[in-house]
Amino acid sequence: MPALILASSSPYRAELLARLGVPFEQQSPDIDETRRPDEPAEDYVCRLAREKAAAIAEGRPDAIVIGSDQCSEFRGEILGKPHTEDRAIEQLMQASGQAVTLWTALAVHDPANGRIRVEQVPTVVQFRRLQREAIRRYVSTEKPLDCAGAFRAEGLGIALFERIQGDDPNALIGLPLIALVRLLSQVGMTLP
């Protein structure tokens, strides 16, 4: 069986992949994550997931490589990483009482033929109506400054939501395991 590599530096994605009970390596790909002009959110995450898998597969063509990416979209705009507490608070104030779509994409490099298979999994998060002070406490506690949309669903961010709609709860955290198991089976890795 070829080596399995997760093309990500995220500890959360690694924790999710570990649930499948298969040994894997983790490597951080070095790609340009700049969004192209007028690139739709769902195309953007698919491209980045593919590029992450391809970047690692270039040095390890004999391995099954998993790339993934995620972005948040609100009213047709991609929510970036806020980087500052003030920007995080403003992003969450805009999302208060609203629905935000998270686009999560997976790409799996098949070492048998060099092909990269891609799937994307949308998840819609309905935010509760939030007061500015509650948002300030959340941002101060969790520090989601490196999270698109200013929330960390794998942590306290889940308390900001009223409901979640999607096919795979793991997509919210960045690695949809249902789709991943399907893609892995297509490249010859059967689980369980």
> So which residues are the catalytic ones?
69
Distance from chain centroid for Cα 95: 19
Residues 6+ apart with CB under 8 A from 132: 89, 93
**Phi-psi group of 21: left, alpha or beta (phi > 0 → left; psi -120 to 50 → alpha; rest → beta):** left
CB contact at 8 A, 16 and 170: yes
